[in-house]
Amino acid sequence: MEAVSIEDLKQKAIELRQTALTMIYEAQSGHPGGSLSAADIMAVLYFKEMNVNPSDPKWDDRDRFVLSKGHVCPIQYAALLLRGFVPYENIHTLRQYGSPFQGHPDMKKCPGIDISTGSLGQGLSCAVGMAIAGQRDEKSYRVFAMVGDGECQEGQIWEAAQAANKYKLDNLIVFVDDNGLQIDGTCEEVMPNLDLERKFEAFGFETKRINGHDIEEIVRTLDEVKAAKNGKPKCLVCNTVKGKGVSFMEHSVGWHGVAPKEEDYRRAMLEIAGGLQP
Amino acid sequence: MTVETKEKKVKIATRDGFGHEIVELGLKNKNIYVVDIDIGKSCKTTGFMEKLPKQHINVGIAEQNAAGISAGLATTGKIPFISTYAVFGSLRMAEQIRQEVCYPNLNVKIACSHGGLTPANDGGSHQAIEDMGVLRTFPNMTVIMGADYYSTRKLVAQAAEHYGPVYLRFTRDAVPVIYDENEEFTIGKAKRLREGNDLAVIANGDTVHLALEAVKRLEQERFSVTLLDMHTLKPLDREAVVDCAKLGKIITVEDHNIINGLGSAVSEVVAETGGCIVRRIGVQDKFGESAPYEKLMEMNGITVENIVNTAKGLLSS
C-alpha cells in the first residue's frame, strides 16, 4: 500500500466507527461496544499494515486476519466495505438472510473473511494453523489475530499460545483488545484476567502493552515488533475503552450487544465525527 | 453384484490400515498433514512422523487447539488429518469441529482410533459409543468406518480425495481381513457381501466380520440373507437400504450406541420410505466398563449368536 499518514488513519478510524454503528443501527442488532474499542487497531491494519488485495481476496500470499472475538464483526465489515472487498450497498444488510454480513463472520459468505468465527476462544488456534502453513511453505505473509480480554478466559487461547511458542511463529501478531468489560460486568468481577501482558510473555510471546486508541503508538509499536525475526510470536496488549468515541457508550457494559435507537444514533454519529482524544 | 470375501486367517487392526495408508498419501502429496495429540504411537502415526516431519504437527494434549490449527491449515490448501482416540476426536473437540471445520466446510479429516468398545480395559470413559452419532448431525460432515485393513486403507485414500470434513473411525483390536487388497470402495456406496431373499443384515466396522459369520451359519440352515457393509454412515446409501427393506426384515449391527448410529440411520430411511421391521443390535444405550473386549461385546449382544438368533426370531414370526 502507498504511504498513509497518521492523520489519514485517524480519519479512517472515524469512518469505520460511523460505518459500523450505521450498520448496527439499521439492523437494530449487533455489538457496538467492542466494535468501537477495536476501531483504531482495525484502521491501522486495514489501511496501512496488511498486504491484501480487495480484487483477489483469496490471494495465496496475502496477510491473514482472524477476528477471534467474532461478535465485533461490524467493525471488520466496515473495513471490508471501505476497502472495496464488498459492494457498498451491503451496508444495509447486516444480520439479514443471504447477506455477506452475517451476525458473526462467515468466510463462505463474505469476501475478505479468512476464517469463520463466533464461538469465543477458537480463532487464535486457526491463526496458529495459518502461521504454521506460511512458515512451512516459506511464505512471507503474516497472520494477524484479534482476541478480546474476556475471551482470554477460554482455555483454548492458551493452548493456541503454547503452540505458537513451540512452532516459533514470528509471523503471528496478536492484538488483545483489553477493554476490561464483558457481558455480565467487568472482567475483574466476572473472572480476573490478571496480567495479560505477563501471561503472553510467559507463553513465549514478545509482548508490549500500548494505548489501543493512539494510532501513532499502534503504528510505531507494530513497526518495532514486526521487524524482529526472533522466532517469537508477537502480542500487543492494547488498553482500550469499550464504546470508545461515543460518550454515553464508553465504559458501559450496557452497550455490549445493544443497538442504538434513532436519537442515540444521531448523537453518536456527531460525537464520532468530532474525533478522538487518545 | 456381490463381493467374493476372503477366508484369510490374517487379522490386523484398522488403525494399522490408517497408519500405513497415510504415509503413502503423504509421500505422494505434500499438502497432506498429520496433526497428532500426543498419542501417535497408539494411533499409528509414528511412521508418518519419522518419514514426513515437515508435514507433521504434534500439538500436545490439546484437542480443541488441534481442531482450530487444522482449520487454519486447511484455509491454506493443506489436507490435515487429526489423529487421536475416537472419544476425544468426536466429543472433546465437537464444538470446534462444528464451528471451525463443518460450518465453513473446510477440508479437515478427523481420523480416530479406538472407536466403539475397543478401548475395553480402559473402561467406559475411553470407549467411544456416541462418536459417529454426534458427528453425523453436523452438516457437511462425512462419516466412515472401514470393516478391515484393506477397506480402511482404500477409504482413507478416498477421504483424502474427497473435499470436505470427514470423520474416519478405526479400532484398536485386530479384525479378520475380509476383502481382497484390490477391492475398490466408494464413499456413500455400501458393499453387498451377500445377496439373499429372506432378510437383510446391515453392519459396519468391526461388526461386519461377525455379521458375515452369522450369515454363513444361517445359510447352512438354508436361509437366504442379504448382507451389507455400510462403511459410510453419512451420506447413507439410501438406495441400498430401500432395497433391503423390500425383504421386510432388517437387522443392523454396530459397535456404537443403537441411538443415532447405524441402526438409527437405517431406521430413518426405512420409516421415510415405506417401512419394514428393523432390529438394532448394538450398545443398548448404556456405558461400558473395564472388561476384555469380547466380554463387553457379549454384554451388549454384539455377537454372532445374537445375530443368528435375532434372524431366526424374525424369520419365524
- Assess whether B24 carries a catalytic annotation: no
The average pLDDT across B267-271 equals 98
B53: chain A residues, CB-CB within 8 Å: none
Q: Where are the alpha helices (DSSP H) in chain B?
A: 14-28, 40-43, 46-51, 63-75, 86-87, 94-96, 131-136, 149-161, 208-220, 238-245, 262-272, 293-299, 304-316
The predicted pLDDT at position A130 comes to 98
| Residues from chain A contacting residue B103 (CB–CB below 8 Å) | 106, 116
Q: Do B100 and A115 touch (CB under 8 A)?
A: yes
Total domains, chain A: 1
**Residue A70 belongs to a domain:** yes
Q: What is B172-204 written as a DSSP string?
A: SSEEE--S-TT----TT--EEEE--SSEEEEE-
- Digit-coded pLDDT (tens) for B291-304: 999 999 999 999 99
Q: What is the DSSP letter of B128?
A: B
C-alpha B71: how far from its chain's center? Answer: 23
> Could you tell me the sign of the dihedral formed by the alpha carbons of A74, A76, A81, A85, in that order?
negative
Distance from CA of A106 to the nearest CA of B (A): 7
Q: Show the domains of chain B with their CATH numbers.
A: 12-176 (3.40.50.970), 191-316 (3.40.50.920)
Q: Do the Cβ atoms of B75 and A107 come within 8 Å?
A: yes
Of residues B57, B75, B104, nearest to A130 (C-beta): B75
What pLDDT, on the 0 to 100 scale, is given for residue A61?
A: 98
The pLDDT value recorded for residue B286 is 96
Question: Has residue A1 been placed in a domain?
Answer: no
In chain B, the percentage of residues whose pLDDT exceeds 70 is 97
Cβ separation B65–A163 shorter than 8 A:
yes
**Contact check, Cβ <8 Å, A160/B99:** no
Contact A162 B60 (CB under 8 A): yes
* Boundaries of domain holding A233: 6-274
> What confidence score (pLDDT) does residue A1 get?
54
Asked if the C-beta of B79 comes within 8 angstroms of chain A's C-beta atoms, the answer is no
**Average of per-residue pLDDT across B217-222:** 97
The three three-digit cell numbers of residue B180, written as one number: 481382497
Give pLDDT, residue B5: 67
Determine whether the interchain pair A128/B65 forms a contact, defined as Cβ–Cβ distance below 8 Å.
yes
Is pLDDT of B68 > 70? yes
Residue type, B176: P
Question: Smallest Cα–Cα separation from B287: which of B165, B128, B63?
Answer: B128
Give the number of beta-carbon pairs within 8 Å between A and B: 104
pLDDT digits (tens, 9 = 90+) for B143-182: 999 999 999 999 999 999 999 999 999 999 999 999 999 9
For residue B284, which amino acid is it? Q
A215-241 tens-digit pLDDT = 999 999 999 998 888 999 999 999 999
Answer whether A64's CB lies under 8 Å from A107's CB. Answer: no
Look up the CATH number of the domain holding residue A81: 3.40.50.970
Using DSSP's 3-state secondary structure scheme, residue B121 falls into helix
Q: Is A156 on the interface with B (CB under 8 A)?
A: yes
Minimum-distance CB partner of A126 among B59, B60, B68: B68
Nearest CA distance, B60 vs chain A (angstrom): 8
Q: Say if A110 is an interface residue toward chain B (CB within 8 Å).
A: no
Looking at residue A3, its pLDDT comes to 77
Is the pLDDT score of A26 beyond 70? Answer: yes
pLDDT of residue A229: 85
The pTM of the full predicted model, rounded to 2 decimals, is 0.96
* pLDDT tops 60 at residue B1: no
- Closest partner residue to A115 among B57, B60, B104, by Cβ? B104
Q: In the structure, what pLDDT confidence band is assigned to residue B9 with cuts at 50, 70 and 90?
A: confident
For the record, the C-alpha cell of B151 comes out as 477397506
State yes or no: pLDDT of B70 exceeds 80.
yes
Exposed, middle or buried by CB within 10 Å (0-12, 13-18, 19+), for A139?
middle
A185 pLDDT higher than 80: yes
| B68 contacts A133? CB cut-off 8 A | no
What pairs with residue B194 in β-bridges? B227
The cell for B121 is 480395559
Q: Element (H or E) spanning A80, and its range? A: helix A73-82
Dihedral of the alpha carbons of B41, B42, B45, B51, in degrees to the nearest 10:
30
The x, y and z cell numbers of residue B117, run together, are 468398545
Q: Does residue B71 belong to the interface with chain A, where contact is any CB pair within 8 Å?
A: yes
3-state helix, strand, coil in chain B (%, to 5): 40, 20, 35
pLDDT of residue A108: 97
From B63, B100, B130, B254, the catalytic residue: B63
Q: Give the pLDDT band (50/70/90) at residue A2.
A: low
Q: Under 8 Å CB-to-CB from A207, ≥6 apart: which residues? A: A197, A198, A200, A201, A234, A235, A236, A237
The amino acid sitting at B146 is G
Check if the beta carbon of residue B68 is closer than 8 Å to that of residue A129: yes
* Arithmetic mean of pLDDT, A68-87: 98
Name every chain B residue with its beta carbon within 8 A of the beta carbon of A115.
71-72, 75, 100, 104
